[in-house]
């Protein structure tokens, strides 16, 4: 069985999507449509912008979403998923690919999500840190013991976890994690504490928009970040998507469940190859590849 997987924030690069724009009329149409929906020229930033411009949350999230979704669309009949999953933002791309969400509706939600997250980031000084070389339960216990808000936010693969919260709490957790033998515990260059309780104002804002959006029955199950199991009920998908902003991204567990349900091949759709690397660390026998438009 084949699982199609979609990357999240951090996979962006200057020039992303230009090859698709030049090679396909269908892709070109979608990119130009996106400029109209968003109300700014995102294609110009994607194709020619600096790394700094691309790093802005309100640009990054729609940019990665567009690259992934347009690539999946122009694969045409070659796109045959038995199951899909996306890492954080990538879940929105996965939901367009499996026909739960319409392209236009999803792009509006992604844009609202990015702006709401940006706003939440600005209200409390917060950050995230990557922790390498410790078991999950040790990281969780230390976070629980630190004063202030700091939680496990991304379960990327065994031995690689991201924590998220108030700056002081994250810094203290990093010191304690190093004392416990973490190979690395380093702050990440992000705007705030994604997938933590500090995203609650963004979650509330996004919840309203999600509730007013049509979610259709999908063509295949999605393994969502919040629950990690196969979901096909549109109402359940909606609910999980709302809680995604304040809940951890359980990528390790999602991949393990996809493998348990028969996935042997994982195709990454979108910029970069980060997810292929994570899948290999989670399940060394999995076949991984990048989706290519020829």
Active-site residues: which are they? Answer: 88, 195
Torsion of CA 96, 151, 12, 202, to 10 degrees: 60
Per DSSP, what are the bridge partners of residue 86? 6
Q: What is the DSSP string of 200-232?
A: HHHHHHHHHHHHTS--PPPSS-EE-TTT-SEE-
Yes or no: say if 120 and 199 are a contact pair by the CB < 8 Å rule.
Answer: yes
Q: Which two tokens stand for residue 5?
A: 């997987």
Closest to 225 measured CA to CA, from 94, 135, 101: 94
Give the integer Cα–Cα distance in Å for 91 and 88: 6
Give the integer Cα–Cα distance in Å for 33 and 55: 22
Give me the phi and psi of 188, to 5 degrees please: -100, 150
Closest to 245 measured CA to CA, from 181, 289, 279, 202: 202
């Amino acid at each position: 069985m084949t699982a199609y997987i979609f990357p999240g924030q951090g996979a962006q690069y200057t020039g992303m999507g230009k090859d698709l724009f030049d090679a396909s009329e269908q892709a070109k149409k979608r990119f130009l449509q996106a400029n109209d929906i968003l109300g700014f020229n995102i294609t110009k930033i994607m194709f020619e912008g600096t790394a700094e411009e691309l790093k802005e949350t309100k640009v990054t999230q729609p940019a990665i979403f567009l690259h992934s979704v347009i690539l999946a669309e122009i694969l045409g009949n070659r796109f045959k998923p038995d199951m899909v999953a996306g890492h954080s933002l990538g879940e929105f791309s996965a939901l367009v690919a499996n026909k739960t969400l319409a392209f236009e509706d999803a792009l509006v939600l992604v844009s609202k999500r990015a702006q709401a997250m940006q706003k939440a980031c600005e209200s409390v000084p917060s950050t995230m840190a990557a922790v390498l070389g410790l078991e999950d339960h040790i990281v969780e216990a230390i976070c629980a013991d630190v004063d202030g808000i700091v939680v496990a936010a991304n379960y990327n693969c065994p031995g690689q976890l991201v924590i998220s919260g108030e700056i002081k709490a994250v810094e203290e957790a990093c010191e304690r994690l190093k004392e416990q033998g973490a190979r690395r515990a380093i702050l990440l260059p992000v705007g705030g504490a994604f997938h933590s309780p500090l995203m609650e104002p963004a979650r509330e804002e996004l919840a309203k928009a999600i509730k007013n959006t049509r979610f259709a029955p999908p063509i295949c199950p999605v393994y969502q970040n919040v629950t990690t199991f196969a979901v096909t009920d549109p109402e359940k998908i909606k609910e999980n998507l709302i809680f995604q902003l304040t809940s951890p991204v359980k990528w390790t567990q999602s991949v393990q469940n996809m493998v348990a349900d028969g996935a042997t091949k994982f195709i990454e759709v979108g910029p970069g190859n980060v997810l292929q690397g994570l899948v290999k660390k989670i399940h060394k026998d999995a076949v991984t590849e990048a989706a290519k438009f020829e």
